[in-house]
Each structure stands twice: as structure tokens, then as C-alpha cells.
Structure 1
Amino acid sequence: METRVKRRKRKLKKGRVLMAFILLFILVSGGFAGTQYWLGLQASKGAQPFETDYSDSFNGQKTADGKTNILLIGVDSRGEEQSRSDTMMIAQWDGETDTIKLVSLMRDIYTEIPEYGGYKLNTAYYLGGPELLRQTVKENFDIDVEHYMLVDFKAFESVVDAMAPDGIEIDVEKDMSEKIGVSLTEGVHKLNGQELLGYARFRADSEGDFGRVRRQQQVIEAVKDHAVSVSGVMKAPKMMGTAQPYIQTSMSSAKGIELLSRILISGGGEIERKTIPVEGSYTTPTYEGAGSVLELDWETNRQELKDFLGE
């Protein structure tokens, strides 16, 4: 009987030591994450916030199946109150399966913008912010979104530099410099935030916007691969703190940070991707006042988008 009591005491003591260790680990980890997030915020001091807060005017709708559709809008505001959206994506997050899908919408798609008429898709944000862009996507593609996330490109540069001070490795496919603010040479290089953004935005070749979208997806994959490394995960809190001033969203701050974390640090899982318009479903006429546009076969592209998003 005495031996059994001693054994029980030893087990209880071990259990207490283990619980104390777990509690200490949680406290240290939480303190580290909080400190890194604060350091990120300090690093971004002086950032210019968006001139207008669009969250109160955004009327997004939930999907019937419980998935969350988010309109991701990338802009290069440069301090201007109005600017066209350079990047437009629909991100779908399925909370039950923890999967993410990304749809790139080409900015030169010729659409009917409610109350304005025919314009390129990227003009909708310029004319009426995220809500008008949501309405335009809804009217033309019959897909609604629940939330928006507006990201100034400075956020991307800051995130990359905070996460990878030595740069992220990319195989640059050709020399490029026109209208991207940097000069890149062909070959495998480690690019900093500004250079990586320039690579993703380059479109001054025969591929035009299609090449730009393809490179955007290549860059997202490279950033995600770096983010899931040990060093990337350790720097994630600082990365999010650095980016926060450059992001505006209709989601709560916690949910927005969680979404970005899922996209960048999704356990190495693949993100399903699609580009609209799909191959062979458009023409490229030139319209007065709009220039060269993408005129879509709407029936084909609507169905492709709905099938991809499962709607």
C-alpha cells in the first residue's frame, strides 16, 4: 500500500512539472509573439493609412454553404485618395476543410459597372471603392463576396522584408525594368520586397496582363513556401504587425490576420488557383476611351467561376 501511494505521488509530481512546463512555454511563446507583433508595428510607424474607410459602406453577402468569399484588392495609392485597383482576386476560405481557393480577375476585363456603363474592371474601385467593385463582380459574374481586404502594395514590400531580410529566391525569367520601379536581370536571384513586387507587376511584354497574373501566382507560392519554413513562422507575428497599417478590411482585425496567416502559412498545403478569363473564352477588341480590353464569353466564364468556387 505504501509503495502504491509513493508511486501515485511521483506521477502527480511529474504531472505538475509537465503542466508547469506547458504553461511556461505558452507564456514565453505568447510573450515572444506579442513582442514581435509590437516590433512590427513600430517598424511601420509613419505609414500613410488609406484616406477613406470603406468598411461601413460595404454590403457583402454570406454564401449559403458557409464558405467565406473575400474580395482582395491590391492598390498602389502613393498617397492618392483615388487609384485604380492593380490586383483583384476572390479568395474563398472553407472553414470546414481549411482549404483556400484564389481567383485572379484580369483588370482589363470589359464590364458593365452599375450606374456608369462600360469600363475596364479595375475602374470600378476608382469610381466607387470596394462596394462598387463588389457590385460589378456580382452583376457581371453572378458571384457575391462577404468581405473585402484592401492592401496597399507597401504592405507586401514590408511583409517580405520583415519575413526574409535576405530576400526570397525567384527564377527571374527575363530582364525587366519598364514601369516597375526596379531593374531585374534574368536568372535565379534573392529579391527584396520592392524587387519581388516589381517582378510580380511586370507586364511590358507580349504576354501583357496574363504574364503578370502568372508571375503573381508564382510569387505567392514562393512567399508561402518561405513562410512555412521555421524562420518564416518565427517571424510571422512581426510580419503581421508590419503589414497592419497598410491593410483595410471589413473583417475584424483578428479574422483578417487569420486569413492572411492561412494564405501564407497554410501548413504547406496547396492553394487552388484560377484565372478569369479562361483560355479561349475572350477576344481583345479596342474601344474608344478604354483602349485594348478583354471582351469575355460571359456564359463560359461565369460557369467556370461558379464551378471552381462550388456555387
Structure 2
Amino acid sequence: MNKGIKVALIIALLALFSAGAYGAWYVNNIYKSLDVQVISTEKEDLGITEEAEVKINMFENSKEVINILLLGTDKRAPDENSRSDSMMILSIDPVNNNLKLSSLMRDSYVKIKGHGSDKLAHAYAYGGAPLALNTVNTNFGMNIEYYAVINYGGLINVIDALGGVEIDIKDYEIDMVNAYIGDVAKIEDVPYKAIETTGLQTLTGVQAVGYARVRYVGDGDFERTERQRSVLTSMFNKFKEIDTKDIPGVAAKLAPNVETNVSLYNMVRIGTSVINAGMKNVLQARFPTDDYGYGKLTTKWFYFFEKEETIEELHDFIYENEIPKSQKKD
């Protein structure tokens, strides 16, 4: 799942290298261990419409905000066709000095180029990251050009390199969390320890990935997206505390597990933007919002939503820091 969760770090980490701590040679070496893909930059192929760009350009900070599609897959073998287990838009906003995470509901009923209408998560299975990118842009009125994908092993290694993440385990979650921890450990062929108590505690990489994959307790997929964002936010907070000398080790564990179309030049540019802005906060939201609901079509359950309203709410969150009313805390 959380593979997507880590691109925030890859951008920030490589950015710090570019800031001069280790020099161009080191940055270049780390970049070479990424799985860099070259995809079409044509707007039609990316799913970027003129209508979407007109709406986005109405926001004053639209030129400064950088959006990256983060993808986590349920792939268990290199040649396996998989769905995207998690999808998030990471928005780097140097104007407001924050990062934003927009979780996209995997069951959202959307149009997928060449495949009719289906679940958002299926776009990746049909055409990999390029089709997933096209699908998000087309259905959510975005103009995203960059993506990154991560696998279980990479996330586990990075969380462990950061010293674990702080997560509050609820009493109704613990049994299912432990079941998923065992599943993740089996897939990655790594040892693990079950969580023994509830409450705020430090989770290892395997434990955190298991936690983030939990879907069938609490509020289903709605709550799962919150778990995913909680892990990422905790990782971000840990990253802010890391000693500069330890950054290379974290980056070295991360990079080999990331597929992306971000060029070295843009990696440095984006990262430098993060560092120079001194970002300290991560804002979170989920789209489509809680105002919509599930429905059955033939034999499948989908999350149906009103497209134009969702696009407006997503744009307001990314460009104006406006959290959707249904997700505001009292």
C-alpha cells in the first residue's frame, strides 16, 4: 500500500543533497538507483485538458504549487499485474509553506481511457503509472505531470532507517493490524513482532506497513486512507528531526524501491523548493469526500461521486488550504 507514501521523502531527501551537503556527485549516484521511466509529456496523453488548466490557473499560487501522484500497489511479484492499493496527490506549496496529501478513494467510479468506467484502482492494472496519471487528471480536473511508485520493502526499510513511526493503535484495530503485519512479513520474507498493546507507540517498518493496509475495521476504506496519511505524516515528522549526516543512509534505502518519471533536474528543483520554503506542516484530506456513498453496479461496489463538486473541493484544498467541510475537526 504505502508505496506511494514515500515519495514525499524521496523528493525531500534528494533535495537536501542538492542543497550542498553532499554535492552533485552524491545526488547523481542516488538518482541512478531509482527506476526512472520516460513517458509521454503530451497533454492529451497525460489527460490534462484545457478546461482543467484554465480553472487551476485562476489560483494565484498555481504556478508555484508542484503536484506529484503517489502510487502504492498490491504487487507481490515483479511481473505481476496489480492494482494501485493506494493513490495520493502530494502537493508541495512553497507559497503557504506546507505539504498537502490528498487521498483518492480507490473504489471511485471513474472513466479510464480505453477501458470504459471502472474503479480508480484498476487504472494502474490496465496501463501502469501513465494510465493512472491520465485517469486522475481526467476525472479530478488536475494537470499533474509527475508520479512515483514504491513497494513494500522500500517503505519498510525507510521507516526502520528513520527509527520507526509514532502511531496511535485503537483497540478495534489491533487484531486486524497484526494479521496484516504477518501478511506483509511473509511477502517480504522478513521477521516481525506482533503489536501487543493499544495506544500511541513506535511502530517498525513492517508494523507500520501492516497498519496502513488495514481496511476491514472501523470506517472501511475511509479510515484506511487516514491510516496511510498518518504513516506518511509521522515519517515526515521523523525526517525533520534526522541528523544531516544520516540522510544519505535513508536515501540509499529508499531510492532502489522507487519508480518515477521525475528527472534529476526536476528532482533537484522540487527538492530545493521544499528546503527553501522551510515547510513544517502536512495538511490532509480525502477525495471524493464523505458527502457521497457506495452503490452496486452489476456485481461490483463503487464509490459514486459528483465530479464537478469534487474537482472544486480538491482545487480549493490544494491551492487555498481549504479542508472539505465534511472532514473538518470540531
Q: 1:88 to 1:230 in 2, by over 3 A?
A: closer
Q: 1:250 to 1:127 in 2, by over 3 A?
A: same
Post-superposition offset of 1:111: 1.0
Aligned length: 268
Matches within 5 A, 1:7-26: none
Post-superposition offset of 1:176: 3.0
Residue 16 of structure 1 is matched in structure 2 by none
Q: Aligned letter for 1:79?
A: A
Residue 288 of structure 2 is matched in structure 1 by 277
Deviations 1:203-245 (A, max 9, x none): 11141111111111221222122211144x4422211111111
* Distance in 1 between residues matched to 2:229 and 2:135, nearest whole Å: 24
Matches within 5 A, 1:251-290: 251-253=262-264, 255-256=266-267, 267=278, 269-280=280-291, 282-289=292-299
The 8 Å contact of residues 154 and 258 in structure 2, kept in 1 or not, is answered as yes
Post-superposition offset of 1:80: 3.6
Moved over 6 A (4+): 260-266
Q: 1:148 to 1:264 in 2, by over 3 A?
A: same
Q: 1:29 to 1:278 in 2, by over 3 A?
A: closer
Q: Secondary structure at the match of 2:180?
A: coil
Post-superposition offset of 1:112: 1.4
Residue 190 of structure 2 is matched in structure 1 by none
Post-superposition offset of 1:34: 5.0
Q: Secondary structure at the match of 2:222?
A: helix
Residue 200 of structure 1 is matched in structure 2 by 212
* Distance in 2 between residues matched to 1:235 and 1:221, nearest whole Å: 19
Matched, 1:169 2:149: no
Post-superposition offset of 1:97: 5.0
Deviations 1:34-69 (A, max 9, x none): 59x98x99xx9xxxx87xx65334644697532322
Post-superposition offset of 1:155: 1.6
* Distance in 2 between residues matched to 1:190 and 1:262, nearest whole Å: 30
Matched, 1:55 2:38: yes
Matches within 5 A, 1:49-198: 54-57=37-40, 59=42, 60=46, 64=57, 65-66=62-63, 67-81=65-79, 82-96=81-95, 98-164=97-163, 167-174=164-171, 175-177=174-176, 180-182=180-182, 183-185=194-196, 186-198=198-210
The 8 Å contact of residues 97 and 278 in structure 2, kept in 1 or not, is answered as no
* Distance in 1 between residues matched to 2:274 and 2:206, nearest whole Å: 20
* Distance in 1 between residues matched to 2:66 and 2:146, nearest whole Å: 8
Q: Aligned letter for 2:159?
A: V
Structure 2: tracts of 5 or more residues without a match: 1-19, 183-193, 321-330
The 8 Å contact of residues 70 and 90 in structure 1, kept in 2 or not, is answered as yes
Q: 1:55 to 1:132 in 2, by over 3 A?
A: same
Q: Secondary structure at the match of 2:77?
A: coil
Matched, 1:300 2:309: yes
* Distance in 1 between residues matched to 2:253 and 2:268, nearest whole Å: 12
Instruction: Quote the RMSD (CA, aligned, Å).
Output: 3.3
Q: Aligned letter for 1:107?
A: R
Q: Secondary structure at the match of 1:56?
A: coil
Structure with max Cα Rg: 1
* Distance in 2 between residues matched to 1:80 and 1:264, nearest whole Å: 34
Q: Aligned letter for 2:257?
A: Y
Deviations 1:164-185 (A, max 9, x none): 1xx3332211313366233434
The 8 Å contact of residues 136 and 142 in structure 2, kept in 1 or not, is answered as yes
Q: Aligned letter for 1:205?
A: V
Q: 1:267 to 1:122 in 2, by over 3 A?
A: same
* Distance in 2 between residues matched to 1:256 and 1:79, nearest whole Å: 28
Post-superposition offset of 1:102: 1.7
Q: Aligned letter for 1:102?
A: L
Q: Normalising to structure 1: TM-score of the pair?
A: 0.74
Identical aligned pairs, as a percentage? 28
Residue 17 of structure 1 is matched in structure 2 by none
* Distance in 2 between residues matched to 1:75 and 1:266, nearest whole Å: 31
Post-superposition offset of 1:262: 7.8
Q: Aligned letter for 1:148?
A: Y
Higher relative contact order (CA 8 A, sep 6+): 2
